[in-house]
Amino acid sequence: MNHSCLTCRPGADRAVDYERNVVNLPKHFRGPPASGNGGIATGLYACLGAHFLDDKVNQLQVRLHQPIPLVRDLDFSERHLDAASVEIAVSVDSEIILSGWASSNTKASVMDEETIRTLQKHVSLTDEQQHRFDSYEEAKSPSSADFAECFVCGPESQMGLRLRLRPITDEIFWQSWHPESRWEDAGTLAYLPAIAALDCTSAVGFHLAGVLGDHESCLLGTYDAVLASPPAFGAREGFRIVSKTRERVGRKILTDIGLFSAEGEIHIVGKATWIVVSPEVAKGA
Ligand SMILES: [Zn+2]
Ligand SMILES: [Zn+2]
């Protein structure tokens, strides 16, 4: 399909070049110090899917196989699975970096209805929840310094989103978000930052919630997202990001997270699978 978006138009945030058939992540799209952000990697699939499919992308799934090189041309290749779905691989020197698919269909829900309702219910805060949010002081984690400039969560990322969710109940993490105008794409919030915003934001509370130990960190393994409705840009009230950790099973942690309008409209729901690693591995040592 004839396709253009913030991810593939020339500009500081371009990450796909269809003329040269390459993915190339600029430096500010980092997660760990020397490799790409997993949420950005997932967001790429919204652009790649829209490029290869006839209809808009409604669902995608991405698996991260190894650290994503920054500022380097990566190849991508596609294979149609059916009329509405395409499988896409991103690789370097024939080594797979990312695999996954995008589809115009919604194949299966990424979380149960009850979880969606729970996230949605917390779009607006009670006074008590607002107080808990306002008075929260985040403790440092073993990876705080390594991820200080992460595009999504890094407090020191000059060109980043700087999103840090905070607990509003014992289970729910929350943040309101007013994206800067740079992220507007034809009247909506561009999918690259919108999907990326649901990445490490879901992991910020792992130590507090006790799913990560003092000497543990984690890396994104897979990410499933349903693009439920386009996030209209410019609402004064902004967006809400709401997250809940599902469970840790061995070295895997599952989280549910959503991007909503301030009124509770569901824009994107995501399920992330995190892999527990040492802080050294997380940073890419
Ligand atoms: Zn695009
Ligand atoms: Zn991060």
Q: Ligand 2 mean position to 153 CA, how many Å?
A: 4
**Residue 141: pLDDT band by 50, 70, 90 thresholds?**
confident
Mean pLDDT of 99-112: 92
Q: Ligand 1 mean position to 43 CA, how many Å?
A: 10
Name the nearest CA neighbour of 148 among 16, 49, 30: 30
Q: Ligand 2 mean position to 216 CA, how many Å?
A: 15
Mean pLDDT of 106-110: 86
Tell me which H or E stretch contains 225. strand 217-227
Domains in the chain and their CATH numbers?
A: 16-283 (2.40.160.210)
pTM, rounded to two decimals = 0.96
Q: Ligand 2 mean position to 20 CA, how many Å?
A: 29
**Residue 48: pLDDT band by 50, 70, 90 thresholds?**
very high
> What backbone torsions phi and psi does residue 30 show, to the nearest 5 degrees?
-80, 155
The chain-wide mean pLDDT, for the chain, equals 95
Read off the pLDDT of residues 1-32 as tens digits, 9 standing for 90 and up: 679 999 999 999 999 999 999 999 999 999 99
Handedness of CA 252, 166, 260, 102 (dihedral sign): negative
Mean pLDDT of 213-221: 93
Q: Which ligand has an atom closest to residue 50 CA?
A: 1
Q: Ligand 2 mean position to 147 CA, how many Å?
A: 6
User: Residue 46 in contact with residue 102, Cβ under 8 Å?
Assistant: yes
Q: How far apart are CA 23 and CA 17, in angstroms?
A: 6
Q: Which residues pair with 219 in a beta bridge?
A: 275
Name the nearest CA neighbour of 255 among 215, 230, 225, 216: 225
